[in-house]
Amino acid sequence: MADALLRLESARTGYGPNDVLHGVSLTVREGEIVTLLGGNGAGKTTTLGVLSGIVGLRQGKVVWEGRDISGQATADRLRQGLVLCPEARRIFARLTVEENLIAGTWVRDPKLNKAKLEKTWERFPILGQRRKQLGGTLSGGEQQMLAIARALMGEPKLLMLDEPSLGLAPLIVEQIFRILVEINAAGTPVLLVEQNAHQALKIAHRAYVLATGEIVREGTGSELLASDEVRRAYLGED
Amino acid sequence: MQTPPNPDSGALLFSQMLEILINGLARGSVYALVALGYTMVYGILGMINFAHGEIFMIGMFAAVFALGAMGSAGLVAVGITLPLAILLAMALSAGFGVMNERIAYRKLRGAHLLAPLTSAIGMSIVLQNFVMLSVTKGKVDFPRAVAQPLANTTWSLGPVQLTALQAVIFATTFALMCGLFWLVQRTRLGIALRAVAQDRTMASLCGMKVDRLIAFAFALGSALAAAAGAMVAMYQGVLRFDSGYMIGLKAFTAAILGGIGNIPGAVLGGLIIGLTEDLTSYTIKSEWKQTTAFAILILVLWLRPRGLLGERVADKV
- Interface mutation vs chain A, best among B205, B209, B216, B309, most A CBs within 10 Å: B205
pLDDT tier for residue B315 given thresholds of 50, 70 and 90: very low
pLDDT of residue A125: 96
Do the domain assignments include residue A132?
Answer: no
Please, which residues have CB within 8 angstroms of residue A177's CB and are 6 or more apart in sequence?
A: A165, A199, A200, A202, A203
Q: What is the 3-state secondary structure (H, E, C) of B186-224?
A: HCHHHHHHHHHHHCHHHHHHCCCCHHHHHHHHHHHHHHH
| Structure confidence at residue A235 as a pLDDT band (50, 70, 90) | low
Give the chain B residue nearest A91 (alpha carbons).
B202
Tell me which of B267 and B5 has the higher pLDDT.
Answer: B267
Q: How many Å lie between the alpha carbon of B120 and the closest alpha carbon of chain A?
A: 28
What is the pLDDT, as a whole number, of residue B145?
Answer: 86
Q: Which of A135-139, A198-202, B8-12 has the lowest mean pLDDT?
A: B8-12
Contact B208 A102 (CB under 8 A): no
Is A194 among the domain residues? yes
**Do the chains contact at B198 and A94, CB–CB below 8 Å?**
yes
- Asked if the model's pLDDT at residue A238 lies above 50, the reply is no
Whether B99 has a pLDDT exceeding 90, the answer reads: yes
Residues 6+ apart with CB under 8 A from A145: A124, A126, A127, A176, A179
Rounded Cα distance between B274 and A165, Å, is 53
Q: Are B192 and A106 a contacting pair at CB < 8 A? A: yes
The shortest CB-CB distance from B204 to any of A54, A95, A104 is to A54
Cβ-nearest to A74 among B195, B205, B315: B205
Residue in A75, A93, A150 closest to B198 by CB: A93
Q: Do the Cβ atoms of A95 and B198 come within 8 Å?
A: yes
The answer to whether the CB of A21 falls within 8 A of the CB of A213 is yes
pLDDT of residue B1: 44
Q: How many contacts, defined by CB atoms under 8 Å, are there between A and B?
A: 60
Query: Quick check: B263 contacting A, CB < 8 Å?
Result: no
Query: Quick one: pLDDT at residue A234?
Result: 67
What integer pLDDT is reported at residue B9 of this predicted model? 53
**What's the confidence (pLDDT) of residue B312?**
53
pLDDT recorded at residue B317: 39
**What are the CA-CA distances from residue A137 to residues A99, A122, A173, A175 (Å)?**
14, 21, 19, 20
Within a domain: A127: no
Question: Facing residues of A33 across strands?
Answer: A190
pLDDT digits (tens, 9 = 90+) for B191-229: 999 999 999 999 999 999 999 999 999 999 999 999 999
For residue B304, pLDDT over 60 is answered with: yes
Residue A62 resides in a domain: yes
pLDDT-based confidence at residue B18 (cuts at 50, 70, 90): confident
Computed over every residue of chain B, the mean pLDDT equals: 90
CATH of the domain at A222: 3.40.50.300
Tell me if A164 is assigned to some domain.
yes
Considering CB atoms only, which of A79, A102, A107 is closest to B191?
A102
Confidence band for B8, pLDDT divided at 50, 70 and 90: low
More confident residue, B1 or A153: A153
Total domains, chain A: 1
- DSSP β-ladder status, A4-14 and A59-64: antiparallel
Residue type, A159: L
**A224 domain residue, yes or no:** yes
Residue in B closest to A72 by C-alpha: B207
Which of A48, A51, A94, A131 to probe by mutation at the B interface, max B CB count within 10 Å? A94
Dihedral in degrees, nearest 10, Cα atoms A32, A38, A42, A46: 30
pLDDT band at A230 (very low <50, low <70, confident <90, very high): confident
- pLDDT above 70 covers a percentage of chain B that reads 94
Q: What is the pLDDT of residues B147-167, one digit of tens each?
A: 888 888 998 877 888 999 999
Would you state the pLDDT for residue B149?
87
Position with higher pLDDT, B282 vs A214: A214
**Assembly ipTM:** 0.93
Confidence band of B19 (pLDDT split at 50, 70, 90): confident
Does the pLDDT value for residue A13 go beyond 50? yes
End-to-end Cα, chain A, rounded Å: 35
Average pLDDT of A91-118? 97
Relative orientation angle of helices A140-153 and A170-185, to the nearest 10 degrees: 20
Domain of residue A165 covers 4-90+157-234
Distance CA B84, CA A109 (A): 34
Cα gap A15→A12, rounded to integer Å: 11
| Residue A176 within any structural domain of the chain | yes
- What number of other Cβ atoms are within 10 A of residue A62's Cβ? 22
How large is the average pLDDT for residues A182-199? 94
Q: Stretch A150-173: mean pLDDT, rounded?
A: 96
Q: Does B198 touch chain A (CB under 8 A)?
A: yes
Question: Predicted confidence band at A1 (pLDDT cuts at 50, 70, 90)?
Answer: very low
Which range among A60-64, A226-230, B203-207, B293-297 shows the weakest confidence by mean pLDDT? A226-230
pLDDT: which is higher, B30 or B291: B30
Question: Does some domain include residue A161?
Answer: yes
Q: What is the mean pLDDT of residues B294-307?
A: 87
